[in-house]
A and B are shown apart, each in its own frame.
Chain A
C-alpha cells in the first residue's frame, strides 16, 4: 500500500536558517510527489512537484526538493527561512494510473523565530 511519512510534526528554525522538512514515501511504483503549503485559515497551495525528469525541482518562494529513489525520499529545503514561511507543509504522493488521488503525509508545522 502506498504511504507518505513526514518526520517531525513541528519544526522550528531561526529566521535566515536552513529549512529542511523530511518526507519519505512507500510505493511499489515510482509515484508523482508534491509539496503543498497551508497558511493559517487558508487552502492548500502547491509549492512544487516531481513527476519525471530532473530529480531536483524548484518551486515557489525559494523552496526546492530532491527526489531520491534509492532513499525513497523527497525532502523540502530552503536555504534561508523567512518569517512568512511559517505555515503547515504537506508532502503528498500519487500514482498516476490510479486516478491521481493524493496520499498525504501528516503534515509538518514550521515555525520561524526572529
Chain B
C-alpha cells in the first residue's frame, strides 16, 4: 500500500552473507508486522512490534533472523549467514489507529540467495 515502502525491492546475495531489509511505514501506525512469502511455505508471520512492548518474535524461523524498530517507526529485518531456503519475498505490514485490525502491506522485498 501507499502507506508502507520497503527497500530494496530486490536483493540477490550469496549464501553465507548477511542482509538487511528495510520497512518505512506511514507515521502514526500502531503496530508493524513482518511476514515471509515463499513457494514452499506460503505466507508466514515472522515478528511484530507494537508500542513500547517487547516484540513478538514467535514466528522467526531461526536465530539468524532478527528485527528492530527504531524510534517507533522504521524497521529493519536482518538475516545473518543467509541460506538458500531464506529465498522468499519479505513483506512488511502496519496497522493504523483508524483501523486497528486492518493491516496495510508494503510491496515486499524479493530476496534471492544463490
Q: How far is the CA of A53 from the CA of B93 in the complex (A)?
A: 25
Give B35 Cβ to nearest chain A Cβ, in Å: 7
Q: Is the CB of A106 within 8 A of B42?
A: yes
Within 8 A of A (CB), among B80-104: 91, 93, 95, 100-104
Q: Does A45 contact B (CB under 8 A)?
A: yes
Query: Which single member of B50, B93, B102 contacts A99 (CB below 8 Å)?
Result: B50
Majority SS at the chain B contact face: strand
Q: Is A84 an interface residue (CB 8 A)?
A: no
Q: A90 near B: Cβ within 8 Å?
A: yes
Output the nearest chain A residue to B59 by Cβ-Cβ distance: A101
Does B33 belong to the interface (CB within 8 Å)?
yes
- Within the complex, which residue of B42, B45, B56, B95 is in contact with A107, where a contact is CB–CB below 8 Å? B42
B65: A residues at CB distance < 8 A: none
Q: Is A46 an interface residue (CB 8 A)?
A: yes
User: In the complex, are the beta carbons of A100 and B48 less than 8 A apart?
Assistant: yes
CB-based contact B95/A100 at 8 Å:
yes
Do the beta carbons of B103 and A100 come within 8 Å of each other?
yes
B1 touches A45 (CB 8 A): yes
Q: Would A99 and B42 be within 8 Å (CB), given that A43-B91, A46-B102, A51-B101 are in contact? A: no
Asked if B95 and A102 sit within 8 Å, CB to CB, the answer is no
Are A99's CB and B106's CB within 8 A? no
Give B105 Cβ to nearest chain A Cβ, in Å: 4
Nearest A residue to B44 by beta-carbon distance? A104
Instruction: Say which residue of A49, A101, A104, A107 sits within 8 Å of B102 (CB atoms).
Output: A49
**Can you name the residue of chain A whose Cβ is closest to the Cβ of B92?**
A43
Q: Does A70 contact B (CB under 8 A)?
A: no
Which residues on A sit within 8 Å (CB–CB) of B72? none
Could you tell me the distance between the alpha carbons of A94 and B107 in the complex, rounded to whole angstroms? 21
Q: Name B residues whose Cβ lies closer than 8 Å to a Cβ of A.
A: 1, 31, 33, 35, 42-45, 48, 50, 56, 59, 91, 93, 95, 100-108
Q: List 21 A-B contacts (CB under 8 A).
A: A32-B101, A36-B105, A43-B108, A44-B93, A44-B105, A45-B105, A46-B102, A46-B103, A46-B104, A49-B101, A100-B33, A100-B100, A101-B45, A101-B48, A101-B56, A102-B33, A102-B45, A104-B43, A104-B44, A105-B42, A106-B42
